[in-house]
Structure 1
Amino acid sequence: MGEKAVPIMTVNHLNKQFGPGCEQCSRPERRILEKNYCRVCDTVYSCQNITFDLFPGEVLGIVGESGSGKSTLMRCLYFDQEVTSGEAYLQPYKEGRKNMFAESTQQKKYIRNHLMGKVYQNPVLGLRMNFSSIGNIAEKMIAAGNRNVAAMESRGSELLERVHIPVSRMKEAPKNFSGGMQQRVQIAKALSNNPPILLLDEVTTGLDLSVQANVLDLIKHLQRELSISMLLVSHDLGVIRMLADRTMVMLDGRVVEQGLTDQILEDPQHAYTQQLVHSLL
């Protein structure tokens, strides 16, 4: 990656809070919180001033404990939740000149359907469990304006094959599949419109170790083959070590450290990162 690489995504000062805020917590410079929670008014500051770049073809890992704000960040980026404030720019969208959070609902749908794919930790959020697997892929393609049934069938079967779902089971509903297979169908669906950016939220949590390894291998393989940019959320440093070029460490809604993955694993600076790395050794 050259020095002059232009980020495919730039996020500036993203904030997401749940609750109104009060005297004690609403001014960032004098905010008094317990972790990311205000005891006076019960407001939770899930994401506080998150700023980062994602480069073309890069895997950026986001690591942190449960409640650190990683999944909230992903939900905001995919418009599953509204941000409280902040900006995000995508190079493939209006040449990176428009803050996507300030765009209309219609434009957000366009970004979500054409420029991003998301794989959820819980497949129920990413799939219709009673649709056929190929129907799930078609749904994402229809949302992006595709109306050609033959093209959708052929794209759907090509993607399912690529994620190792047997042809004989393409018409089967994901509710009959194992957790690992459901995640693979989600990955196929997320890739259906060739998005330049893929959001992966704890995709191996709750899977058996051997199944985890298969899913991670698949992600690694697809990333190399398609040179897609990925944001990869995990609480597992082993997953981050295997897949991420750079890593961002979150704690209590803030980014406490970011850098090259090797650097962060070999020479962690922040006390929390040190603790994480030591627990991996």
Structure 2
Amino acid sequence: MQRFEERPLLKVENLTKQYGPGCGECSQPGRPGLIKNYCPSCGTVYACSDVSLDVYPGEILGIVGESGSGKSTLMQCLYFDQDVTSGTLTIDDPELAGENLFDVSSQRKRYIRNHKYGMVYQNPVKGLRMDFSSISNIAEKQIAAGGRHVGQMQSAGERLLDVVSIPLFRMKEEPRNFSGGMQQRVQIAKALSNDPPILFLDEVTTGLDLSVQAAVIDLIKQIQRDLGISMIVVSHDLAVIRMLADRTLVMLNGRVIESGLTDQILEDPNHAYTQQLVYSLL
């Protein structure tokens, strides 16, 4: 658990992602004209509305919510897969000091993705080239981050595949030949190949068998323990968040409706929706 006197490694303030023009009914503070996250006057959908969060060094922040709550859109905005409508993103890094990273150039965003971020998507097809070998997928990320020494990249790739329990005799195989759980582990190895301080994991256990889910969760916990990487873990499953996250945000209709220590939220949820989530685990 982080010490709260530390500065956040990553800080987001008032992130909004809307689809539509907005109007006087839905653009006011608090957006009183919305029905859930939809404006009936102008048809605008607020996928994320005024979301703020901090991620501290070495912690895992969980984000939980039902399908359509905005959690995956939030992740895509943080990783620059989507542009935000408004908001600020800062990272406590000398290279990026004082910059709102949502406003920097596409070239600068690409640099941040290649050097500061790792991403593991729910669908491995989005994070892997299925017709490249596993070790070539890892090398692709290393090359994007400036790697040029073939021997060093090969050695690092083998080490990472070993970390995620992919047999080295299969490193030349294409991920399309692997099971879903193995594909996720290759994705994790690829995401770690640039030694990122921040790792995003979006619904990484969804669709996996329970035993495979447990193996992936154990791997994430081991990586966080051994490497001290800060992580944001998104899931609709509070049981996954309970096993992984130090702190948790609960999202509903594009907003953060509750936040706090994971144990605190599990033991004494305040919002009716969070109570429903917690009681569904019992």
TM range (shorter): over 0.9
Aligned twin of 1:122: 123
Letter in 2 for 1:26: S
Q: 2:74 maps to which residue?
A: 73
Report if the CA contact (8 A) 1:63-1:237 is conserved: yes
Question: How far is 1:52 from its partner?
Answer: 1.0
Q: Distance in 2 between matches of 1:20 and 1:93?
A: 36
Mapped contact 1:18–1:45 kept (Cα < 8 A): yes
Moved over 4 A (4+): none
Matched letter for residue 260 of structure 1:
L
Q: Establish whether residue 52 from structure 1 lines up as the match of residue 35 from structure 2.
A: no
Post-superposition shift, 1:35? 1.4
Which residue of structure 2 aligns with residue 62 of structure 1?
A: 63
Aligned length: 281
Counterpart of 2:269 in 1: which secondary structure? coil
1:88-126 Cα shifts (integer Å, max 9, x gaps):
111125354211111111111111111110000000100
Unmatched segments (≥5 aa) in structure 1: none
- Partner of 2:234, secondary structure, is strand
Q: Once the two structures are superposed, what CA deviation does each residue of 1:126-185 show, in whole Å capped at 9, x if it has no partner?
A: 001111001111111111111111111111111011100001110111000000000000
Instruction: Give a deviation string over 1:38-79, Cα, whole Å, max 9, x none.
Output: 233321101110111100000000000000000000000000
| Paired residue type of 1:192 | S
Is 139-148 or 86-95 further displaced after alignment? 86-95
Q: How does 1:1-281 map to 2 (within 5 A)?
A: 1-92=2-93, 94=95, 96-281=97-282
Instruction: Provide the TM-score with structure 1 as the length reference.
Output: 0.97
For the aligned residues, what is the CA RMSD?
1.1
State the identity %: 68
- SS of the residue aligned with 1:110? helix
- Please say if residues 93 and 111 of structure 1, whose CA atoms lie closer than 8 Å, have aligned partners that are also in contact: no
Report the 3-state secondary structure (helix = DSSP H, G, I; strand = E; otherwise coil) of the residue aligned with 1:24. Answer: coil
Specify whether residues 30 and 123 from structure 1 end up closer, same or farther in structure 2 by C-alpha distance, changes over 3 A only: closer
Once residues 11 and 249 of structure 1 are traced to their aligned partners in structure 2, the CA distance between those partners, rounded to angstroms, is 16
Q: TM-score, normalised by structure 2?
A: 0.97
